[in-house]
Amino acid sequence: MSASVRLLRRQMQGQLRTTEWRALLIATWIAITLTTLLSLLGDRLERGLIRESASVLGADMVLSSQRPIQDLRRQQAADAGLNSTSVIQFPSMISAGDDMMLSSVRIVQSPYPLRGQIQTRPAQETDIPEPGHAWVEARVMSQLGLSIGDKIELGYTELIVNAELISSPDRGSGFRSFSPQILVNEADLDASGILAPGSRAEFRLLLSGSTEQVNSFTLFLNESLGDEERLFTLQSDQPMGGGALASALNYLKLTSLITLLLSALTIFLSLKRFSQSQHLRCALLLSLGMTQRSMVMLYLMQLLLAWAVLALIGSLTGIALEQMVSRWLDELLPQSLPAPALWRYFTGAGVGLALLVLLGLPPTLGLSKVSVSALFRDEDIRTERRGLVLQLICALLLLAVLLSFLEAPIAALILLLFLLIGGAVLGSIAQFCLKHLATPLSKRLLLGRLLVMRLRQQRQWHRLQSAVAILLLTLLSVVWVSRTDLLEDWQAQIPDDTPNYFVVNIQPWQTEGLQSFLDNANVSAEFFPMVRGRITTLNGAPIHAQMTPEQLEHNTLNRELNLSWSNHAPTHNTMVEGQWWQGETTEPLISVEAEMAEILGLKLGDVLGFDLAGLEVEAQIANLRGVEWTSFQPNFYVIFDEATLNQFPATYITSFRLAQEQQELANQLIREFPSLTLIDIDQMLLQLSQWLTRLGDSSALILALSLICGSMLMLLTLQQALDQRRYEGALLQTLGANAKQTQHLDLLELMLLGALCGLMAAIIAEGVIALLYIHLLDIAPQLHLGLWLALPLASFAFFTVSGALLRKRLTLDQCYRLLRAH
């Protein structure tokens, strides 16, 4: 074995016992693990759900509309040489015996899909279910207790489940792509009686052809796209499905930025301390005949060797964690995730290498500047402050690597700046508070004045420690609370009589029967008609000409609205301005939601023009209403007088509350009115809470890694600080203080720092959570007493215990020796 290899091996073995080398290894391991986990998970999610691909769209392009797509479109596609097929997708209650569940039904016709494949178990010979049959996803099978051959009821028709749907493209857009899905032949649609004019459904025309045909038809469609139509192509920016998931993934990646930054900072400080501790050693190696080049190579080899081992361990840990997280998500995801690209397995190792090389290169090259003469002078050697340019270049390169990994560079850069500035501000505030906290103590304690002096001397260290501790504790608390408490607190403040069921797609002729069904069960419900329409004019002039770009982006102006009519004000709305019309009106009148009116600058007496299925209707604003959108009541931006709107085809909507013991009524309702769509809000909230919990779990996992990294960083700086204090302590002991007093001085400083960090974290976390309550959930903020207790205590304990463990008590003899060595 050559000298270099032996030296390398021994050197690594010896350095494994040092805090800086351990911190370096752990931080690198975490960075590799985390990047592997996110790279794999991100790729699988994107491949499976988010990224546009023919196999996700089920076609080369998809025309989607909230209204039936005109035959003309299909004819135009045929003229352009494209293949096409129609899909209708809507939510519906599916029942089997006494069980029922809300599912997303896809009514399809052959050929389907145009691109990609449907996988079923058992495999089927036909591309879509035969009439009278349905293919359903595993979640439906398990919740309804179905086996192959069992029957399900869809509206008025019964279908035999002859296959389990394993995966299928064209899952639809938005949240519906996550609902459990059922595939049904279009021949069964009429018999089900579910879809009537005005029913809520997404109508899609799937199209495929050569690239040229698709491109030219895309151009043609873009020019003639109707208000209600949307076009999805392989190149479109807007994802067909998984938008929420893409956001969640970005959120996880941004969370990971904090961990990566902490790892980078830990690695940087470890390497800095490590290289400083190696100066004498390097001088010695040079004195023994080693060339500067060999010595730098020795240290680079050491870093590379450490990287190789960590790349293996970190990648394996990352893969294991990815398996765990995708298993958590699996039950919530519509279909199992595809395997990631092979190179994604190496992302973590790549980022780890970038971290070690870019952070390690400047201090390692700095080692070559060490002079053997340092060994004669026995003094603290400092290499010259050369290489600043190299450090800067390396830091920028590293930043580029990290940002490109996160794939959202702007957001990451903003977060980075926020963290740096926020950290600096928090650190300064903490240091300021610490100074003022200690001043009163200085008169009461024996070494109080020393404590104040030390707090002044150590201010930079305190700023760094407290910034890291406060940021970490705050983030952990917010994630922890939002994981479960946020939704629970929101649910808890909902009044007991808040409706928990919506019924939509009620046809006019069904209202009477449904009303008496509910009356018989003593369930009160108000019915509201719904007509779809779009706001086109204000006081006779086109709306676009009168509104600012910001106003035009308002939710009510860029889509079709659900309009209603009523001759009396809804009981759950409040009158803000004006009066409700009495009885029959002579001219068309409308009631407008007050917030919308304020944003769009609408006043009483203004006349709004509407396009209702091609007919223009104008109506004057008679009053403004206050609406509680989270009341789970049918709410509308615009309500007409009855006479103006009742001539248009409408469906009805209602909501009501069923107590726990009345749940059976929901089943009865579906049996009696199979074509209605019953939406169970409790079930939807449950699904939402599952998502929040899983997302919370995933980010808590990432933050746990941040916590390990942050703790390493704090321990590292703590030890560095304690080393400096050893000299001071030794001096004090030789001047007459006893070991206990110097220990108390160290621990008092750490206790103050710990408790203060915890307290500040509790204040900030509570503030952030209060903002979430006010702005996100629109409820009154609540105090989380647990945080106020747990954070200061945990932080106090961490600083005190680690300080006590790291601090070694000095005997007087050791003090003399330490002072002599200085």
Partner 1 sequence: MTLLTPDGFILEAQNVAKSFPAQEQRLELFSALSLQVKPGESLAIIGRSGAGKSTLLSLLAGLDQPSAGHIKIAGQDLSSMDDAQRAAFRSQYISFIFQSFHLLPELSALDNVRLPLEIRGDEQAEQQALKWLKEVGLEKRVHHYPSQLSGGEQQRVAIARAFVTSPQLLFADEPTGNLDDETGQQIIEQLFTLNAEHKTTLILITHDPDLASRCQRCVTLNNGHLTERSL
- The first and second tokens of residue 632, run together, are 């789970």
Q: Report the candidate in 482, 497, 436 with the shortest Cα–Cα distance to residue 462.
A: 436
Q: Output 284 or 324, the one with its CB closest to partner 1.
A: 284
Task: Please state, in angstroms and rounded to a whole number, the distance separating the CA atoms of residues 588 and 615.
Answer: 14
**SS3 (DSSP) at 593:** strand
**SS3 (DSSP) at 52:** coil
Minimum CB–partner distance for residue 462 and partner 1 (Å): 32
385 phi/psi in degrees, rounded to 5: -80, 50
Inter-residue contact 246 to 403 (CB < 8 Å): no
Start-to-end Cα distance in the chain? 38
Task: Please state, in angstroms and rounded to a whole number, the distance separating the CA atoms of residues 801 and 378.
Answer: 34
User: What dihedral do alpha carbons 466, 469, 474, 476 form, nearest 10°?
Assistant: 180
Minimum CB–partner distance for residue 326 and partner 1 (Å): 43
- The first and second tokens of residue 131, run together, are 């009439």
Strand partners, 506: 652
Name the DSSP letter for residue 80.
T
Minimum CB–partner distance for residue 285 and partner 1 (Å): 8
Minimum CB–partner distance for residue 274 and partner 1 (Å): 15
Q: Report the candidate in 84, 135, 134, 87 with the shortest Cα–Cα distance to residue 114.
A: 84
Strand partners, 206: 62, 85
Minimum CB–partner distance for residue 8 and partner 1 (Å): 11
Task: Please state, in angstroms and rounded to a whole number, the distance separating the CA atoms of residues 576 and 485.
Answer: 34
Name the DSSP letter for residue 128.
S
**SS3 (DSSP) at 779:** coil
Q: How many CA atoms lie within 13 A of 480 on its CB side?
A: 16
- The first and second tokens of residue 768, run together, are 């952030």
User: Please, which residues have CB within 8 angstroms of residue 321's CB and are 6 or more apart in sequence?
Assistant: 33, 37, 701
How many residues are recorded in the chain? 822
Task: Please state, in angstroms and rounded to a whole number, the distance separating the CA atoms of residues 350 and 41.
Answer: 17
Q: Output 288 or 735, the one with its CB closest to partner 1.
A: 288
Name the DSSP letter for residue 176.
G
**SS3 (DSSP) at 134:** strand
378 burial (CB, 10 Å; 0-12 / 13-18 / 19+) is exposed
Task: Please state, in angstroms and rounded to a whole number, the distance separating the CA atoms of residues 115 and 170.
Answer: 9
Residue 107 region by backbone torsions, left for phi larger than 0, else alpha for psi between -120 and 50, else beta: beta
Q: What are the residues binding partner 1 (CB under 8 A)?
A: 2-4, 6-7, 10-11, 13-14, 280-281, 284-294, 371-373, 375-378
User: Please, which residues have CB within 8 angstroms of residue 659's CB and are 6 or more apart in sequence?
Assistant: none
170 burial (CB, 10 Å; 0-12 / 13-18 / 19+) is buried
Q: Output 125 or 379, the one with its CB closest to partner 1.
A: 379
Name the DSSP letter for residue 597.
H
Inter-residue contact 619 to 167 (CB < 8 Å): no
User: Please, which residues have CB within 8 angstroms of residue 196's CB and are 6 or more apart in sequence?
Assistant: 505, 507, 651, 675
Task: Please state, in angstroms and rounded to a whole number, the distance separating the CA atoms of residues 649 and 639.
Answer: 15
Question: Which single residue is written with the structure tokens 């809520």?
Answer: 200
User: Please, which residues have CB within 8 angstroms of residue 47's CB and are 6 or more apart in sequence?
Assistant: 53, 337, 338, 340, 341
Minimum CB–partner distance for residue 281 and partner 1 (Å): 7
Minimum CB–partner distance for residue 273 and partner 1 (Å): 17
**SS3 (DSSP) at 502:** strand
Inter-residue contact 485 to 660 (CB < 8 Å): no
Minimum CB–partner distance for residue 363 and partner 1 (Å): 20
- The first and second tokens of residue 497, run together, are 């009589």
β-pairing, 99-108 vs 181-185, is parallel
User: Please, which residues have CB within 8 angstroms of residue 705's CB and are 6 or more apart in sequence?
Assistant: 30, 33, 34, 259
User: Please, which residues have CB within 8 angstroms of residue 618's CB and are 6 or more apart in sequence?
Assistant: 537, 540, 588, 607, 608, 609, 610
